[in-house]
Chains A and B, each alone.
Chain A
């Protein structure tokens, strides 16, 4: 498996609180991605990064922000969590944007 870890693996939080999820890679891959997975919707891209400090929006970016201050870490922040953001969040990496993506183990987030 590609060297991808996500933290925390599980989190319960309350509506209105900020939440930050971390994705860490040891592969030195340039591209990193955040997806969410919900029943009936498959995986949907939230944001992605194509280098340090270089990020772009995906399909469902509203309510989320990201940051990448170093190659190995990609942070996803929910500034003010809502119940609709209850989901499983997956991070993925690829060596270049045009290559196979490898996924992390996921973070289960419950917003009450």
Chain B
């Protein structure tokens, strides 16, 4: 499984875009990039995933670099409720999700 590295913490002003980076330089061609978040004391919540192309859904956008060695999760208009730990996971079908320490995002009023 490819290892991912994320900054331990980030701040973002309410209403602004939150851009959360993730490095996965050893990702293999068939590994997906998944993002989850965990709001205090709750179960992890699925956000988005992608393989090569950029993806967007109602929660966020995922930008994957052409070489697939890094990606960015974008929350376009962060709110206080987006304060959480965000996990970036390189996932190969047939293997298990590996959750690292993630990035603690604090959205500030």
0/1 per residue, A89-111, Cβ < 8 Å to B?
Answer: 01010000110111111100000
Residues facing A in B13-67 (CB within 8 A) are 34, 41-46, 49
Pick the contact of B99: A43, A102, A106 (CB < 8 A): A43
Closest B residue, CB atoms, query A4: B43
B94 touches A (CB below 8 Å):
yes
How many of chain A's residues have a CB under 8 angstroms from any CB in B? 20
Cβ–Cβ contact B34 & A100, under 8 A: yes
A109 to B15, CA, bound (A): 37
B76 touches A (CB below 8 Å):
no
Q: A100-B34, A100-B49 are in contact. Are A45 and B42 (CB under 8 A)?
A: no
Pick the contact of B43: A45, A97, A100, A103 (CB < 8 A): A103
A105 to B44, CA, bound (A): 8
A98 to B94, CA, bound (A): 6
A58 touches B (CB below 8 Å):
yes
Cβ–Cβ contact B43 & A42, under 8 A: no
A102 to B100, CA, bound (A): 17
B87 CB contacts on chain A under 8 angstroms: 42
B49 CB contacts on chain A under 8 angstroms: 100
| Nearest CB in chain B: distance from A66 CB, A | 15
Cβ–Cβ contact A43 & B44, under 8 A: yes
Cβ–Cβ contact A105 & B43, under 8 A: yes
Pick the contact of B45: A43, A48, A103, A106 (CB < 8 A): A103
B7 touches A (CB below 8 Å):
no
